[in-house]
Structure 1
């Protein structure tokens, strides 16, 4: 499955966050740039590094009028635990059915330590205030993800 095309409207979605509250892409249209990042699994080393980088630079995202939403197939309870244990200051969304991951083309074949399996391909989408896809990052480095996204936001 391919990623949505830059310039097109981003695929609409409504998911529940760590508090069980519904969050929709349309909630931000005309108000905020949305940084939608997909990560494989809460409370795993790479995902912790990535999330903590965003947590520590949230003020920079706020200055650029951007909201960050993390999406994984984890259940709400696990997202709550991730938020609490790592003191995250942004919403994590539960996509247990992987419907949003499939819409965005990030549910696919992965290879790790010689075995193949289906999983989330770590990918970030930047969606403009107009609801259109502005940028796709498919080569995400967990340690520098936050800085890489901020640099892209500054050029948009």
Structure 2
């Protein structure tokens, strides 16, 4: 069960596609965060969603907002994926301990061994203000993220 709107977002420390550590708390007080969990790099629906974000990037990475995309892939896979698709925002690896951050947000599918499609809009104080969780085959609507950010 995904964490609820109004709760404090669990902090995490994950490596990005360049091997650098990224924490949720480093944005506290400075930027709202769109935290997007997706199953795996190089898959159809995931690639479509992440490229759509790339194409609308100024809405999701600016002075007030930071997009963080999290999958259970290794940082090495994420680096190749990001380079191949021109994804310049942080691609975070929840590979080891496998699914730890995904579990903290309640979006890890134990049977499949990966995150489902969960998105959380977190305000500058670190509180979840909006979320959506879709099943593995169901893409999300980016316009909903924009509306949630506008409401902050």
Q: CA deviation at 1:34?
A: 0.5
Give the equivalent residue in structure 2 for 1:77: 76
Larger-gyration structure (1/2): 1
Q: CA deviation at 1:130?
A: 0.3
**Cα RMSD for the two superposed structures:** 1.7
Q: Secondary structure at the match of 1:43?
A: coil
Instruction: Give CA deviations for 1:23-66 in whole Å, capped at 9, x if unaligned.
Output: 00111000110000100000111111000111011112245721
Q: Does 1:67 align with 2:63?
A: no
- Whole-Å Cα distance in 1 between the matches of residues 87 and 148 of structure 2? 22
Runs of 4+ in 1 over 6 A off after TM superposition: none
- Whole-Å Cα distance in 2 between the matches of residues 26 and 119 of structure 1? 24
- Whole-Å Cα distance in 1 between the matches of residues 74 and 118 of structure 2? 20
Consecutive unaligned residues of structure 2, counting only runs of 5 or more, are none
Contact 2:36–2:119 (CA<8 Å) still a contact in 1? yes
Give the equivalent residue in structure 2 for 1:50: 49
Give the equivalent residue in structure 2 for 1:125: 120
TM-score, scaled relative to structure 1: 0.87
Give the equivalent residue in structure 2 for 1:16: 15
- Whole-Å Cα distance in 2 between the matches of residues 95 and 63 of structure 1? 24
Q: Does 1:104 align with 2:91?
A: no
Q: Does 1:35 align with 2:11?
A: no
TM-score, scaled relative to structure 2: 0.90
